[in-house]
Amino acid sequence: MSREPMIAPSLLSADFARLADEVARVADADWLHVDVMDGHFVPNLTLGLPVAKAIQAVSTVPLDCHLMIEDPERWAPGYAEMGARNVTVHAEACTDPCGVARDIRAAGSLAGLAIKPGTPLDDVLEVLPDFDTLLVMSVEPGFGGQSFIPDVLGKVRRARELVDTGHLQVLVEIDGGINADTIEQAAEAGVDVFVAGSAVYGADDPAKAIAALRAQAAAARG
């Protein structure tokens, strides 16, 4: 499993009226993070499968779909079928996490499991062998531009250790408040995939911001 840091800009901070242009501005990203919110699991509403398909059609970068929705068992397979590289569901929303992981993988995507800042890693350890990515939320899901919660790094460190000792096989992803001031501590804790919304789309030159974040993460990991 690759240890090169991966940067996944979040489209949530892009201009939704110019989505194709905004996708093109981050062509050198590793993954493109697409936040799907249903107004129920989180108090915000973004986009669903039809818009995700339109993004998929114009993106040269593999999509990383983060489903902040209720009933992920029903909706997640559609994102895998349309060709997303990784489809992440929330542990707090799943009634059958292993079943949804199986369906996502069967449709050809990596399966991701996300945990909110208050959800302990212990709650998901039993099901994690069925997943390919673990998304540790470093803000409460729902909105971009929030401040990083450093307390979640304990979960990252523990997951990293389980991966490095062969007890677990997942990419560790972090999402929320990642920028030039916070990415190094996340990298030191053992993150593989860094989601960054406002830090990339709020920059004058998103491509430069991606390169700078990637270099910072690589240096911090040593």
CB-nearer residue toward ligand DX5: 102 or 119: 119
CB of 35 to Zn ion, least distance (A): 4
Helix (H) / strand (E) element for 55: namely helix 49-58
CB of 82 to ligand DX5, least distance (A): 19
Stretch of 52-60, 84-92, 98-106, 174-182 contacting ligand DX5, by CB under 6 A? 174-182
d(CA 22, CA 9): 10
Q: Considering CB distances under 5 to 8 angstroms, the limit depending on partner class, which of ligand DX5, Zn ion, none binds residue 142?
A: ligand DX5
CB-nearer residue toward Zn ion: 19 or 166: 19
In DSSP terms, which residues pair with 88 in a beta bridge?
66, 112
Which residues sit at the interface with Zn ion, rule CB under 5 A?
35, 66, 175
Q: Which of 125, 181, 183 is nearest to 158 (CA)?
A: 125
Which of the following is catalytic: 64, 132, 175, 192? 175
Pick one of 43, 120, 129, 145: the residue that binds ligand DX5 (CB under 6 A): 145
Q: What is the largest CA-CA distance in the chain?
A: 46
CB-nearer residue toward ligand DX5: 13 or 86: 13
Q: Does 175 bind ligand DX5 (CB under 6 A)?
A: yes
Q: 155 — phi, psi (to 5°)? A: -65, -40
Task: Assess whether 204 carries a catalytic annotation.
Answer: no
Stretch of 22-30, 69-77, 97-105, 191-199 contacting ligand DX5, by CB under 6 A? 191-199
DSSP readout, 140-167?
-TT-SSPPP-GGGHHHHHHHHHHHHTTS
Q: Does 97 bind ligand DX5 (CB under 6 A)?
A: no
Stretch of 88-96, 159-167, 173-181, 212-220 contacting ligand DX5, by CB under 6 A? 173-181
Q: Which of 6, 42, 72 is nearest to 213 (CA)?
A: 6
- For the chain, report the end-to-end CA distance as a whole number of angstroms: 17
- The Cα-based distances of 157 to 72, 114, 150 in angstroms read 27, 16, 12
Task: Assess whether 175 carries a catalytic annotation.
Answer: yes
Q: Does 206 bind ligand DX5 (CB under 6 A)?
A: no
Q: Does 197 bind ligand DX5 (CB under 6 A)?
A: yes
Strand order in the sheet with 110-115: 6-9, 193-196, 171-175, 133-137, 110-115, 86-90, 63-68, 32-37
Q: Does 72 bind ligand DX5 (CB under 6 A)?
A: no
Catalytically annotated residues: 35, 175
